[in-house]
Structure 1
Amino acid sequence: MKYAIVDIETTGGNAKTGKITEIALFVHDGEKVIDEFTSLVNPECDIPPFITSLTGISNKMVKDAPKFYEIAKKIVEVTEDCVIVAHNSEFDYSFIKQEFQQLGYKYRKNTLCSVEMSRRLIPNCQSYSLGKLCKELGIDLNGRHRAYGDAEATVKLFEMMLEKEYVQAVMDEVMRYDLYNAKIHANIKREVIDQLPDETGVYYLYDENEELIYIGKSKNIRKRILQHLSNTSTQRAQRMARGVRNIDFVLTGSELIALLLESDEIKKHQPRYNRAQRKTKIHFGIYKALDDKGYINFQVAPIEMGDHPVTTAFSRQEGTRLLEKMSERFNLCQKLCGLYKAEKSCFQYQIKQCKGACVQEESVESYNQRAEKASQIFSYGVSNVMLIDEGRHAEERAVVQIENGMYKGFGYIEVNGGVSKIDELKAVIKPYKDNKDVNKIIRGYLRKKKLEKQIQY
């Protein structure tokens, strides 16, 4: 086996937005270096000052350097039949792969991370960053944060690990597959592996009887499935990997839609290796209303057609638990939340943990402000909204509909200069069921992710 030991310098830390500014490759046959290649690379964009400060590579230095497409063929030739080895291989490989992808070329290699290898083969080091590890092991590192110096030091580290007794077992354990491997994928046809995309969507794993055994979602379907197939961390994971005979997938573009579709498909098909999100029907909602004093009250009740609950639950008990969380988190009155029955004050007021909305000691304005905030946190935050996210290609957008506080479904729309008409958006929505899991997915996504647009109506 041959190894291409690589290091790159870049304009930033994200492969989708950053570019390579320098690359160094040493081809190793398991005994010695047999070939090498190094070059500055013109990233065709400005190098940020802090990157120049770290690496010493300036815009002036790369001005006359070859662009990536000019050295791409050489990289392919040098790394032919090689496993990529790097200190944090996911970083280096993702950048190289992305550069090739932008040229319309699928560059795929299996990879070994020398960080993971060294943790197993050289335990108890104070640090596994390249600089500190080399210093501790007595490895010369000339030119830190330059591709040639870091790659050369990684070669010396790799050769040190090749001498260890259990190196092959460790390499088998930490290898990351991006290519068909007859040993790992023996029960699956090569073309099934070859056609897996590096895109966002939902995937389906089938056994020898064409029974669906697992459904998952990923921002990189290929990477995630190949991780499944080489997973030896548990007996359950090994059984599932051995049982896979065929694979299917659906591209979604939007990660939010991948999450929503995965949840719905798991409930629909109940695959035996999916444990979470298998409940299917919701029966109860948490409802909000004003009492005769003007205070916001909450209660758990069965869902009826056309209802507008704050959020949903699979059972009355689960709804009550959610209300208890709301009450505790926002210091709401247990009586007004329907959690304590009393003629006058609630129990929390008697032990001085309620501010007294139950006996009108706290003002309507003060109490309702907290109650509204709780309502928004535990719901979607708006009654009627279209969530617009990226589609499966540049001229398409994904659309998720929430109406009367409930998830209605999703769809895709072709865009020409923008998306704005609600009737057009409603027309593409395919209906899906609302439930607690969907509620959690959408709320979590809205908190953590930046959607392209939200259109309230």
Structure 2
Amino acid sequence: MYAILDIETTGGKYNEEGITEIAIYRFDGHKIVDQFCSLVNPERSIQPFVVNLTGINNDMLRNAPKFYEVAKRIIEITDGCTIVAHNAKFDNRILTTEFDRLGYDFSMNTLCTVELSKKLIPDLPSYSLGKLVRTLGIPLSDRHRAQGDAKATVALFKLLLTKDTSKEIIQSLTGKDPKRQLEPKLIDIIKDAPTSTGVYYMHRKDGKIIYIGKSKNIKKRLTQHFTNDNRKSKRIQLDVTSVTYEVTGNDLIAQLKESEEIKQSKPIYNRALRKTLFNYQLSSFVDENGYINLSIEKADGRKKAIITFTNYQQAKSSLFRITEEFQLCQKLTGLYDTETNCFLHTIKECKGACIQEEAPEIYNQRVQKLIEKYSYLHKHMLIIDKGREIDEHSVILIENGQYKGYGFYNLNHQINNVEILKTIINPMQNNRDAQHIIQGYLRKNKVLKIVNLDANTVN
């Protein structure tokens, strides 16, 4: 399955571009089975030369969805696909960068129709999309607009598939049957792996752990490790001799275990996660006029964080979304540096806290709702979810607003009796990484139930 796409951007410096339009066609090798096209508000200005090229201007994008609003649809339509694009390296980099800003790892195999065309149809004067499709008699409308260019790329790719009669080029670019490429030791490791959710540990010959990971399907994730051809994966493939694993039953405990155990064991191939994963935080303070202000700061364990973020760009994008969601003032959230009113007040979307038109008591109520949303539901609580087996549940203990650890139980009296509860809990470190993982998971996912230990009630 292929996801054939085209992206228009704002232009500008490398890795600072934003998406202005995206079109994706899901193609099964014969016909289009799904499609998605949308303008995108890049939350930055478009370079004048791009406006002249595409016809897309800032006014057209003012009410368009932002990237985070279309991200889920992009993930859905590209699921299980190889990305195909004309100059795929550029389009894939743009998408990867946007998802990185959201803290999501978007990693896909790619095929480039420029490179394929050069190999399958050599000696043409130009391989730009416009000139190439004209040479091949492929219709192209709305040049330099995502939908028109993506539709032309579909037709081009379909032609290239028919020209590749030996299938050698396509196979070399998409990867041959992984099972035939794998060494026997790697095939044996995959064969013995479970399809369950949990944490896995890669060992070298002397037993030392060289990599720790987590997955909702351990077998599938190991297959990806052992068939990937990037430098890190190739080194792992050479060094690994065995893999052990621990089933957790649900993804939340898997994330928490992975985060803590990487910091403890410091495997050589987990360099990125040895330190804290969340380097920025959203904090609050009350100004001289009584308004609660928000600010993005470097993560500091001594200060209380409302939310933590992987990087500054992710923090800023989230703060724009939060400001809009809770109808906050851009001046008081630090997004608009001004001595007078903020931009949102100019367009009548801010109620005037920036110039003290709105009473601080009223404005602060909305800020408190934000803080409550991103805080633990209760200071003392149990998070109950699926266990490793059908008749088992998992439990995470939060005490005094701090993560204490996790455990598994079969009988209800094990969580109703505090002394028994503490014996089944595996103690874990409370840090901002754990807090971010738990709070983020609870916002995005449903658990079986939450027990408020103070009120002894179930939500």
Instruction: Calculate the TM-score normalised by the size of structure 2.
Output: 0.50
Q: For the residues of structure 2 that align with 1:247 and 1:455, how far apart are their CA atoms?
A: 36
Once the 2 structures are TM-superposed, how far is the Cα of residue 366 of structure 1 from its aligned partner? Answer: 1.9
Deviations 1:19-68 (A, max 9, x none): xxxxxxxxxxxxxxxxxxxxxxxxxxxxxxxxxxxxxxxxxxxxxxxxxx
What percentage of aligned pairs have identical amino acids? Answer: 34
C-alpha contact (below 8 Å) 1:203/1:221 kept by paired residues = yes
Q: For the residues of structure 1 that align with 2:166 and 2:410, how far apart are their CA atoms?
A: 57
C-alpha contact (below 8 Å) 1:376/1:382 kept by paired residues = no
Work out which of the residue numbers 217, 224, 244 in structure 2 matches 1:248: 244
User: Which residue identity is paired with 1:398?
Assistant: S
Q: For the residues of structure 2 that align with 1:351 and 1:168, how far apart are their CA atoms?
A: 57
Residue in 1 that maps onto 2:182? 184
Aligned pairs (5 A) from 1:93-108:
none
Once the 2 structures are TM-superposed, how far is the Cα of residue 413 of structure 1 from its aligned partner? Answer: 1.7
Q: Is it true that 1:386 corresponds to 2:408 in the alignment?
A: no
For structure 1, the residue ranges without an aligned partner over 5 or more in a row are: 1-87, 92-115, 127-131, 138-156, 341-345
Q: For the residues of structure 2 that align with 1:427 and 1:444, how far apart are their CA atoms?
A: 27
Q: Is it true that 1:397 corresponds to 2:393 in the alignment?
A: yes
C-alpha contact (below 8 Å) 2:385/2:447 kept by paired residues = yes
Q: For the residues of structure 2 that align with 1:287 and 1:456, how far apart are their CA atoms?
A: 26
Work out which of the residue numbers 441, 446, 449 in structure 2 matches 1:450: 446
Q: Is it true that 1:166 corresponds to 2:164 in the alignment?
A: no
C-alpha contact (below 8 Å) 2:353/2:359 kept by paired residues = yes
Once the 2 structures are TM-superposed, how far is the Cα of residue 173 of structure 1 from its aligned partner? Answer: 1.6
Quick one: structure 1 residues 308 and 384, their matched pair in 2 at CA, closer, same or farther if it must change by over 3 Å? farther
Once the 2 structures are TM-superposed, how far is the Cα of residue 434 of structure 1 from its aligned partner? Answer: 3.0
Residue in 2 that maps onto 1:213? 210
Deviations 1:236-272 (A, max 9, x none): 3222222222211111111111111111112222223
For structure 2, the residue ranges without an aligned partner over 5 or more in a row are: 1-77, 82-109, 122-132, 140-153, 344-349, 454-459
Residue in 2 that maps onto 1:199? 196
Residue in 2 that maps onto 1:226? 223
Quick one: structure 1 residues 169 and 400, their matched pair in 2 at CA, closer, same or farther if it must change by over 3 Å? same
C-alpha contact (below 8 Å) 2:190/2:222 kept by paired residues = no
Once the 2 structures are TM-superposed, how far is the Cα of residue 429 of structure 1 from its aligned partner? Answer: 2.5
C-alpha contact (below 8 Å) 1:383/1:403 kept by paired residues = yes
User: Which residue identity is paired with 2:426?
Assistant: K
User: Which residue identity is paired with 1:267?
Assistant: K
Secondary structure of 1:368's match? helix
Residue in 2 that maps onto 1:411? 407
Secondary structure of 2:274's match? coil
Once the 2 structures are TM-superposed, how far is the Cα of residue 387 of structure 1 from its aligned partner? Answer: 1.2
Instruction: Calculate the TM-score normalised by the size of structure 1.
Output: 0.50
Secondary structure of 2:234's match? helix
Once the 2 structures are TM-superposed, how far is the Cα of residue 392 of structure 1 from its aligned partner? Answer: 0.7
User: Which residue identity is paired with 1:220?
Assistant: N
Work out which of the residue numbers 366, 369, 375 in structure 2 matches 1:373: 369
User: Which residue identity is paired with 1:248?
Assistant: T
Q: For the residues of structure 1 that align with 2:338 and 2:252, how far apart are their CA atoms?
A: 40
Aligned pairs (5 A) from 1:291-330:
296=292, 303=301, 310-311=306-307, 328=323, 330=326
Quick one: structure 1 residues 284 and 198, their matched pair in 2 at CA, closer, same or farther if it must change by over 3 Å? closer
Once the 2 structures are TM-superposed, how far is the Cα of residue 433 of structure 1 from its aligned partner? Answer: 2.3
Quick one: structure 1 residues 350 and 437, their matched pair in 2 at CA, closer, same or farther if it must change by over 3 Å? same
Once the 2 structures are TM-superposed, how far is the Cα of residue 361 of structure 1 from its aligned partner? Answer: 4.3
Once the 2 structures are TM-superposed, how far is the Cα of residue 412 of structure 1 from its aligned partner? Answer: 1.4
TM-align CA RMSD = 5.3
Q: Is it true that 1:435 corresponds to 2:431 in the alignment?
A: yes
C-alpha contact (below 8 Å) 1:395/1:416 kept by paired residues = no
Secondary structure of 1:276's match? helix
Deviations 1:331-366 (A, max 9, x none): 6579988x79xxxxx965623468565886423442
- State the aligned residue count: 301
Quick one: structure 1 residues 240 and 198, their matched pair in 2 at CA, closer, same or farther if it must change by over 3 Å? same
C-alpha contact (below 8 Å) 1:385/1:454 kept by paired residues = yes
Quick one: structure 1 residues 189 and 327, their matched pair in 2 at CA, closer, same or farther if it must change by over 3 Å? closer
C-alpha contact (below 8 Å) 2:210/2:268 kept by paired residues = yes
Quick one: structure 1 residues 321 and 432, their matched pair in 2 at CA, closer, same or farther if it must change by over 3 Å? farther
Q: For the residues of structure 1 that align with 2:173 and 2:351, how far apart are their CA atoms?
A: 62
Q: For the residues of structure 1 that align with 2:419 and 2:273, how far apart are their CA atoms?
A: 32
Q: For the residues of structure 1 that align with 2:241 and 2:360, how far apart are their CA atoms?
A: 62
C-alpha contact (below 8 Å) 1:288/1:297 kept by paired residues = yes
Aligned pairs (5 A) from 1:70-85:
none
C-alpha contact (below 8 Å) 1:334/1:348 kept by paired residues = no
Work out which of the residue numbers 245, 257, 265 in structure 2 matches 1:261: 257
